[in-house]
Every structure is written in C-alpha cells, then in structure tokens.
C-alpha cells in the first residue's frame, strides 16, 4: 500500500507515494525507468476500485492553435494552425465523506480570451475579427449550460481542478471580495508549484496565462498540493511536470479502465506517433526515437515532459476503443476542422460518458 493520510485537512485527499523519489535520480534514463516501474502497482491499486459512478465530458470551445506547438517538429503538413477542442469533465466519486463532485478543466472561456496569445491572435484579424472570431473559435457550450443539462447545481460542486493554469480565469468560479462565487462550496485543487508560478511569471510564460486570472481569490478556496494524491475511491491527481512546472494529470477509474487527462500532449496521436496517419509523425518517431510528441508552446521542462507523457500512457494503458492508442483523454483534444484541412487525427475520443449524475435535480 502506497497511500498515507497526511498533510491535508480534507479527509477526501490522501497522499500517494507510488512515484515518490522517482524523479530525483541524476540520470534521465534512471528517472524514466523508475517512473515506468512505479506505474504498474499504481495502476493495479486504482483498477482495484469500482468505476466512479459518473464521468462525462462536454464540449466548450474550439480554439486555433499553432501547428508548431501542437505537434512540435513532427508534422510535415505546411499549415500554420490546427484546431483543439476544449472540454470540461464532470466526475463524481465516492469517499469516506460521501459522494463528491469535481469539475476537471472548467474553462471560463469568455474571460479566458484575455490570455495575451489568443487576444493578440484575435487582434491580428484586424477589421474582420468580429466576423472571423465565431468561425475560428466557435463556442459549443459553457460550464454553466453543461451542468444545467444534467441537473447538477453550482452548490453541489465540491472541487475544481486543471491540469495546469494556462489561459484560466478562476475568479468567477471561486469568487473574490467583489464577486460572489458561482460555485460557493468548491475548492481548487492545484499543485503548489503551479500556483506559485502563476503568481510570478517570466516573459516566456506570460503569453499563456490569463492576466489577473487568480487575483483576489481567497487562499481558503485553494488546496495546494505538494505531492501525488488519491481522491476518495478511484480518482488520483499525479504530478506530471513538463508542459508547465506544476502540471498534473487527472486519473479516473472508468468502466474502460483508467482515463488520464492533461495537456502534455494534444491528442491520441501524440502518445502513439508510430501508429499515427498524420503526415510526418510516424517518420519523426522512427528516425528520432522520440516516441511521444510534446505540446510545446512553453517547454518549461522538456525532458520532464517527455517522461511525463510516457508516465501518462503507462498509467492509462491501451484503449478498448482502439488498442493502437492509449486512454489519455486530453483536456484540449486535437480535432479535424474545415478551416484547417490537411491534419486529421487518426483516433479521437470525442465526448465521453459513463454512468449518470448522482443527486442531480431535474
């Protein structure tokens, strides 16, 4: 057993020590080996739980994203942008403190549009920005409408979490002195490193964080995590630094095994490039030996990101839907889109649903 209940006031949160010390080796290959070795007992422990009673993703917004970031040096299609589709995941799980509801990646995408990179891209459309915006970045839903659709009330949400805080504005969700919290009982689960980074960004990071996105939120609403944790039964948050220093992955026991969510990669092809039909990816993996394609807009910790993507796919295991790929369900998934032809993912998960919401109000 590699779970101990220490360090957190919330009884739902248990420290997980499966990967403790694995990244402390001096040699990168030793770090990777230690991580991979620890994945098997971690998987076995989570798979021993029953699937969570409810897991569902909802489409929020399509976003144009530079190909050179999404697929790094691997893709040979000469187009400037691909499309990623941002989703919110609603997860309910059992705990010793009863049923808990957690939102994974609940993007307030209208406020998030103030993120400098995307704001500058919109301004680059010039006089046509009002006409192009709904075509380039169509809104498909909101967090509020997604919850209303399944009858979950704002006060029923216990936690929110993001694999990292790029583009996120959390003020409306958790409230400030001037704004009541939309989710009055929710707390943010975030790695301490991600929280500290967001408060003191360097220029390479600033393009990707929403200005003032965490300003004025009471620290009482924040749970700072210093390690991997298990939440109740069947959910874990695992440190997977790379895309950002404080990146973490959300692991959920579902009827199809363990689903892993993060943005270290942007789609199933990123985790199995040798099986990809996207032009260039297979050749890149075979000639370079780099068997994952990093989401590389910031590359805060490139070697760690490589290791983290291997860790994510080892935890996830292969998909029942397509065994050539892994159960890594990215928070923003690479998708085909008519405005940017030429890049079609080999496999996508699309919206996912298991079970039915508990305690929903119809």
CA distance 143 to 329: 18
Strand-pair partners of 86 = 61, 332
Q: What are the tens digits of pLDDT across the range 55-93?
A: 999 999 999 999 999 999 999 999 999 999 999 999 999
Domain ranges of the chain: 3-353
DSSP string for 80-121: SEEEEEEEEEEEEE--TT--EEEEES---HHHHTTSHHHHHH
Are 210 and 119 in contact, with CB atoms under 8 Å apart? no
**How is residue 145 written in tokens?**
């409408």
* Segment 216-234 mean pLDDT: 97
Q: Give the total residue count for the chain.
A: 362
Q: How many CA atoms lie within 13 A of 314 on its CB side?
A: 21
**How is residue 88 written in tokens?**
């919110």
pTM: predicted TM-score of the whole model, two decimal places: 0.95
Strand-pair partners of 291 = none
What's the distance, CA 136 to chain centroid?
Answer: 22
Q: Is the pLDDT of residue 361 over 80?
A: no
Q: Helix, strand, or coil here: 245?
A: coil
What is the per-residue pLDDT for 22? Answer: 97
Question: What backbone torsions phi and psi does residue 56 show, to the nearest 5 degrees?
Answer: -150, 140
CA distance 94 to 235: 9
Confidence of residue 114 (pLDDT cuts 50, 70, 90): confident
CA distance 249 to 227: 12
Q: Is the pLDDT of residue 239 over 50?
A: yes
What is the per-residue pLDDT for 362? Answer: 61
Q: Is the pLDDT of residue 262 over 60?
A: yes
What is the per-residue pLDDT for 7? Answer: 65
What's the distance, CA 19 to chain centroid?
Answer: 19
Q: What are the tens digits of pLDDT across the range 141-167?
A: 999 999 999 999 999 999 999 999 999
**Proportion of the chain above pLDDT 90, given as a percent:** 86
What is the per-residue pLDDT for 319? Answer: 98
Confidence of residue 1 (pLDDT cuts 50, 70, 90): very low
Strand order, beta sheet including 248-254: 3-4, 13-16, 229-231, 235-239, 248-254, 257-261
CA distance 118 to 109: 11
Whole-Å CA distances, 181 to 117, 119, 335: 27, 25, 33
What is the per-residue pLDDT for 132? Answer: 66
Report the topology of domain 3-353: Metallo-beta-lactamase; Chain A (3.60.15)
Confidence of residue 4 (pLDDT cuts 50, 70, 90): very low
The closest of 62, 67, 71, 69 to 207, measured between CA atoms, is 69
What is the per-residue pLDDT for 66? Answer: 94
What is the per-residue pLDDT for 241? Answer: 97
Q: Is the pLDDT of residue 6 over 60?
A: no
Question: What backbone torsions phi and psi does residue 350 show, to the nearest 5 degrees?
Answer: 65, -170
Q: What are the tens digits of pLDDT across the range 18-69?
A: 999 999 999 999 999 999 999 999 999 999 999 999 999 999 999 999 999 9
When comparing pLDDT for 322 and 204, which is higher?
322
What is the per-residue pLDDT for 18? Answer: 97
Average pLDDT, the chain: 94
What is the per-residue pLDDT for 125? Answer: 72
**Proportion of the chain above pLDDT 70, given as a percent:** 96
Other beta carbons within 10 Å of 215? 12
What is the per-residue pLDDT for 3? Answer: 46
């Amino acid at each position: 057993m590699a779970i101990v209940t220490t360090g957190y006031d919330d009884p739902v949160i248990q420290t997980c020590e499966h990967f403790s010390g694995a990244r402390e080796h001096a040699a990168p290959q030793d770090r990777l080996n230690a991580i991979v070795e620890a994945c098997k007992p971690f998987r076995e422990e989570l798979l021993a739980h029953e699937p969570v009673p409810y897991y569902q993703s909802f489409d929020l917004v399509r976003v144009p994203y530079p190909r050179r970031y999404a697929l790094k040096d691997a893709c040979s299609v000469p187009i400037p942008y691909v499309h990623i589709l941002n989703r919110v995941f609603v997860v309910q799980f059992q705990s010793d403190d009863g049923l808990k509801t957690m939102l994974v990646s609940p993007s307030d995408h209208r406020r998030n549009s103030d993120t400098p990179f995307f704001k500058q891209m919109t301004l680059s459309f010039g006089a046509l920005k009002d006409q192009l915006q709904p075509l380039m970045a169509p809104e498909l839903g909101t967090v509020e409408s997604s919850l209303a659709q399944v009858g979950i009330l704002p006060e029923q949400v216990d936690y929110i979490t993001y694999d990292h805080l790029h583009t996120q504005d959390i003020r409306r969700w958790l409230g400030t002195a001037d704004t009541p919290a939309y989710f009055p009982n929710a707390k943010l689960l975030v790695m301490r490193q991600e929280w500290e980074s967001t408060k003191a960004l360097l220029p390479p990071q600033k393009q990707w964080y929403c200005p003032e996105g965490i300003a004025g939120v009471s620290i009482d609403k924040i749970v700072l995590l210093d390690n991997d944790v298990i939440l109740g039964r069947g959910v874990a948050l695992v440190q997977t630094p790379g895309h950002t220093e404080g990146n973490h992955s959300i692991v959920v026991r579902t009827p199809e095994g363990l689903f892993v969510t993060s943005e270290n990669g942007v789609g199933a092809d990123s985790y199995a490039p040798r099986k990809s039909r996207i032009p260039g990816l297979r050749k890149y993996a075979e000639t370079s030996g780099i068997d994952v394609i990093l989401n590389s807009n910031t590359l805060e910790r490139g070697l760690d990101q490589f290791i983290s993507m291997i860790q994510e796919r080892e935890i996830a295991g292969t998909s029942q839907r397509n065994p050539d790929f892994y159960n890594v369900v990215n928070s923003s998934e690479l998708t085909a889109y008519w405005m940017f032809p030429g890049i079609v993912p080999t496999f996508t998960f699309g919206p996912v649903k298991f079970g039915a919401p508990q305690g929903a109000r119809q």
